[in-house]
């Protein structure tokens, strides 16, 4: 079994993203994962710490936040800080010939020098070029080009990102997977909940959601909208305005097993059109767990989202019509959901990923 060394800008304790899911997938099939978490700017670097079967969490240092590195010279200066910090960790725990580096950082173009002779797989899952501050696009392209060139394989999570990476590399699609086999939803319960499950942040189209909630309150008063998950502080006022429609409830972060899925008509993912981050989404992580439980999706924005009978779009003035269509087709789309889940399992994705470590 191999040891996979992850480099991320994420803490293990944050809500699960692809990096967490992939690490858990690899440890579940017997591999080890050394997970470098979000680097710090100051303070002590925590020592490598076991965090479960096959998983070790590690820290390291960076010079300054990646969005502040507006020039290549700043990237090069940051390289020296990161290299020294990572080298200290690796000298402590030791390198192994079976190490495989899995890099989620678009700007870690120097990892080849730290791990010579090891497989290096980079995963790009955000549009770093277009989502950065003004003046950052050039520096991001500089870093991405070098990161891709130094990698044995590059994986990405949507066709939009695949097109954006085309000038630098031939990236392969690597989509999220179901956390469990498909389970048909129970019958006989009234389904009157639209569930948003995930991080409530500025990507959400609050204007569209407020309009939709008001229309549903007027024309379909039995329908409720539930927002379940952590909330970004800066959207607190918008969430309160949304709740003022009277049919919107927000609850604290909860697993799907803690939510009334027998009452859920659809998982709702209403992101703003024109946002570089959400526009690049083809299949968000939250979609597969919902689909595995027989929950269809009601979405806005995300022009590259998969097209399927169980994905219904809504926009201005259409929420009521879409909800009525969901009520009509909820049972009809279940065979489509079942087939989709069966073709996107953990086993299939593990085989795809482990195939990347074979050959050059």
201 and 150 part of one domain: no
The number of domains in the chain is 2
DSSP alpha helices (H): ranges in the chain? 18-28, 72-93, 111-114, 137-149, 159-165, 206-219, 236-243, 276-279, 287-292, 319-329, 334-342, 346-354
Angle at 68 between CA 64 and CA 70, to 5 degrees: 125
152 found inside a domain? yes
CA–CA distance, 358 with 360 (Å, rounded to integer): 7
pTM: 0.86
Q: Residue 274, by phi and psi: left (phi above 0), alpha (psi -120 to 50) or beta?
A: left
Q: Measured in Å, how far apart are the chain's first and last C-alpha atoms?
A: 19
183 found inside a domain? no
Q: Would you say 189 and 222 are in contact if contact means Cβ atoms under 8 Å apart?
A: no
Highest-scoring range by mean pLDDT, 116-130, 215-229, 247-261? 215-229
pLDDT score recorded for residue 360: 41
184 found inside a domain? no
208 found inside a domain? yes
264 and 247 part of one domain: yes
170 and 237 part of one domain: no
270 and 302 part of one domain: yes
In this predicted structure, the answer to whether residue 169 has a pLDDT above a threshold of 80 is yes
140 and 202 part of one domain: no
Highest-scoring range by mean pLDDT, 61-65, 187-191, 224-228? 224-228
Give how far Cα 106 sits from Cα of 34, 141, 149, 326, Å. Answer: 19, 9, 11, 39
43 found inside a domain? yes
Angle at 290 between CA 286 and CA 294, to 5 degrees: 160
- The per-residue b/e assignment along 262-281, b for 16 or more CB within 10 angstroms, e otherwise, is eebbbbbbbbbeebebbbbb
pLDDT score recorded for residue 49: 95
The domain in which residue 16 lies consists of: 3-177+346-357
100 and 40 part of one domain: yes
pLDDT score recorded for residue 128: 78
105 and 206 part of one domain: no
Residue that has been written with the tokens 């948003």 in this structure: 196
208 and 298 part of one domain: yes
21 and 154 part of one domain: yes
Percent of the chain's residues with pLDDT above 70: 98
17 found inside a domain? yes
């Amino acid at each position: 079994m191999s040891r996979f060394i992850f480099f991320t800008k994420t803490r293990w304790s944050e809500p699960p993203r692809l990096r967490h899911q992939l690490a858990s997938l690899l440890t579940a099939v017997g591999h080890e994962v050394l997970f470098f978490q979000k680097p710090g700017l100051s303070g002590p670097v925590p020592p490598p710490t076991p965090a479960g079967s096959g998983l070790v969490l590690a820290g390291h240092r960076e010079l300054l936040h990646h969005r502040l590195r507006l020039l290549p010279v700043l990237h090069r200066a940051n390289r020296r800080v990161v290299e020294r910090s990572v080298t200290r960790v690796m000298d402590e725990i030791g390198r192994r010939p079976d190490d495989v580096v899995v890099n989620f950082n678009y700007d870690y173009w120097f990892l080849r020098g730290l791990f010579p002779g090891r497989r290096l797989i980079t995963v790009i899952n955000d549009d770093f070029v277009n989502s950065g501050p003004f003046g950052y696009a050039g520096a991001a392209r500089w870093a991405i080009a070098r990161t891709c060139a130094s990698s044995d394989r590059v994986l990405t999570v949507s066709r939009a990102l695949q097109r954006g990476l085309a000038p630098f590399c031939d990236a392969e699609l690597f989509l999220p997977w179901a956390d469990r086999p498909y389970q048909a939803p129970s019958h006989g319960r009234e389904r009157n909940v639209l569930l948003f499950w995930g991080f409530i942040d500025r990507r959400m189209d609050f204007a569209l959601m407020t309009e939709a909630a008001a229309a549903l309150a007027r024309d379909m008063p039995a329908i409720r909208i539930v927002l379940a998950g952590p909330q970004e502080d800066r959207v607190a006022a918008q969430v309160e305005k949304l709740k003022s429609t009277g049919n919107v409830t927000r609850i604290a972060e909860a697993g799907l097993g803690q939510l009334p899925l027998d009452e859920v008509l659809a998982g709702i993912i209403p992101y703003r059109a024109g946002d570089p981050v959400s526009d690049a989404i083809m299949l968000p992580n939250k979609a597969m767990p919902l689909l595995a439980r027989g929950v269809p999706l009601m979405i806005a924005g995300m022009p590259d989202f998969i097209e399927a009978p169980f994905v219904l779009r809504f926009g201005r003035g259409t929420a009521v019509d879409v909800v009525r269509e969901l009520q009509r087709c909820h049972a009809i789309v279940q065979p489509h959901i079942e087939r989709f889940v069966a073709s996107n399992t953990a086993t299939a994705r593990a085989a795809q990923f482990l195939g990347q470590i074979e050959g050059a």
